[in-house]
Structures are given as C-alpha cells and as structure tokens.
C-alpha cells in the first residue's frame, strides 16, 4: 500500500507494531523526501518505535518531529556511522532505553564521481567507508543484541550500481555497493539459524533530493537530468523515496519471515534490460 507523505493516517494493518527500529541515514540531504526519511516515517506509521539517526542531529530531529506530529514514536540522535565507538555507544543507549532492537536499517551512502584515474585515494576510502563500512559497523554492534533476543531484521540499502553499469563514472560506488550485496548475503547465511534475517534493497533511478546534489553535475542542468533519467526507466519515470520505504517495510516485517539473503531491485524494471 502507498501512503501519502503527509496524511498522518495510520494504516489498518500495522506491520511493525511493538518493534524498535534503528534507522541510520534518517535525514534528507535536501528539501523533500529522501529514502531514509520516507522509510523512517513509514516504519512509524506501521507501529515501530523509530530511532532516527543521522550525521547531524538537526536532520534526524526533522524526521523524528514529522513522526511525532503524526502521533508516532520517534527519537533523534546524531552519530557518525563510520565511527565504531560512536555507533557502539548509541546502540548501548538504545538497548538501555528500549531493551531490544528489532530492525536495523542502513541508509548511509554517497556517490563519489570519478574513475580510478580521477579519484584520489582519500576519496576512494571515503566512498567505501560511507557505503560499506557503515553497514559493517552498525551490524557489528547491533548483532550481539539480536543474537541475545534470537530475532531481528537487517535491511541494507544498496543500488542497482552493484550489478549494472549505470552510465555514471563512480568506480568506488560500484565497488562499495557490490560489496554491500555480498556482505548482506554473508550475514543472511551466517545468522539464518539465529532468527536474524538480512536483505538488501537496490534502488534504481530515483527522484530524491540526493540526485540534485550528487548526480546533477553530470547533466546540462537539473531539468535535463530529470528528463533523461525518467526516459531511461522502462516505466517512463523515476521511482520515489516511498517506493524504497514500502520495500523496506515489507523486508523488515514478519510478512517477510522466510526471506533472507535477497538483493531486491526497486527499479521499475531497469535491471531487467539486456543493455543498460
């Protein structure tokens, strides 16, 4: 079901009732609805108590306040997800406050333009850290709690760039997102008998604030970017943050209890084409 961004109406079937969800990257990179922001609101509308985490508290608090205005349950926290000590401290605070962690959602990511020649080593490492190491560190510190409670759902945001050349020159992003997929598969199989599921979502060409910051420089102007990306999609339009949020909701919920190790394209059919 697709819920309108500002309706504030709780769905009849609340798929995450009573669950505690940690969402890293819950803020938006600009005005509008980014994937993490829409997912946090969707989780809350389905009954989850959402811990909205972002690099800045202001970004996290904006999302948490939207949830609270809809009478949902949310707290905000600032955390650098590339800092192991900071992540460990935050996870400990959440466990102390709520006693459990049912859903871990990793939405931190960054598309650094440049191939191997153009990228300097620092930019390469930063792209790997933001897209991949963040998943490793959050799992490292959340998994002990999930193992103790013998339950949990992990959703990592990857990209169709993990499996396809998308036309953009971002070598580090391709490498990092491919690694996210295989990291997720390894998690899924290692912990399958412990009641823990792990899945990835691969967004295709999405119309979110992020593309206006990280992608638009590859086009003549923003309008040209939107037109070309819309035209490249088999459905004739880019997806939205709510498409990602609804996929994440399903994978985080008990309705997906027998689904693990999947990298799910949410791309309007883009990766089904023989040629990109």
Phi-psi region of 182 (alpha: psi -120 to 50; beta: other; left: phi over 0): alpha
**Whole-number average pLDDT of the chain:** 92
* Phi, psi of 9, deg, nearest 5: -95, 125
Mean pLDDT of 106-134: 95
Whether 165 is catalytic is no
Per-residue model confidence (pLDDT) at position 12: 64
Ordered by start, the domain boundaries in the chain are 20-204+240-263
* CA dist., res. 215 & res. 210, Å (int): 8
The pLDDT tens digits for 172-225 are: 999 999 999 999 999 999 999 999 999 999 999 888 777 777 665 777 678 888
Domain 20-204+240-263 has CATH 3.40.50.300: no
Catalytic residue, candidates 173, 191, 219, 258: 173
The helix (H) or strand (E) run that includes residue 223 is helix 222-232
């Amino acid at each position: 079901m697709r819920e309108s961004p500002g309706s504030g109406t709780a769905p009849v079937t609340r798929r995450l009732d009573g669950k505690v969800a940690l969402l890293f990257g819950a803020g938006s990179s600009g005005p509008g609805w980014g994937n993490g922001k829409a997912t946090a609101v969707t989780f809350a509308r389905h009954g989850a108590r959402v811990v909205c985490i972002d690099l800045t508290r202001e970004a996290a608090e904006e999302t948490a306040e939207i949830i609270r205005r809809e009478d949902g349950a949310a707290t905000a926290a600032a955390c650098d997800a590339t800092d192991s000590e900071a992540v460990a401290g935050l996870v400990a605070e959440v466990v102390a406050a709520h006693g459990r962690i049912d859903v871990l959602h990793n939405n931190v990511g960054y598309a650094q333009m440049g191939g191997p020649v153009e990228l300097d080593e620092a930019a390469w490492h930063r792209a790997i850290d933001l897209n991949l190491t963040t998943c490793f560190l959050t799992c490292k510190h959340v998994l002990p709690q999930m193992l103790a409670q013998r339950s949990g759902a992990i959703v990592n945001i990857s990209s169709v760039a993990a499996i396809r050349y998308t036309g953009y020159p971002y070598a580090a992003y391709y490498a990092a997102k491919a690694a996210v997929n295989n990291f997720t598969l390894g998690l899924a199989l290692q912990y399958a008998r412990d009641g823990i599921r792990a899945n990835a979502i691969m967004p295709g060409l999405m119309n979110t604030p992020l593309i206006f910051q990280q992608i638009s420089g590859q086009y003549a102007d923003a309008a040209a970017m939107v037109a070309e990306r819309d035209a490249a999609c088999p459905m004739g339009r880019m997806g939205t943050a709510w498409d990602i949020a609804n996929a994440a909701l399903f994978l985080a919920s008990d309705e997906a209890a027998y689904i693990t190790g999947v990298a799910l394209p949410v791309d309007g059919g883009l990766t089904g084409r023989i040629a990109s």
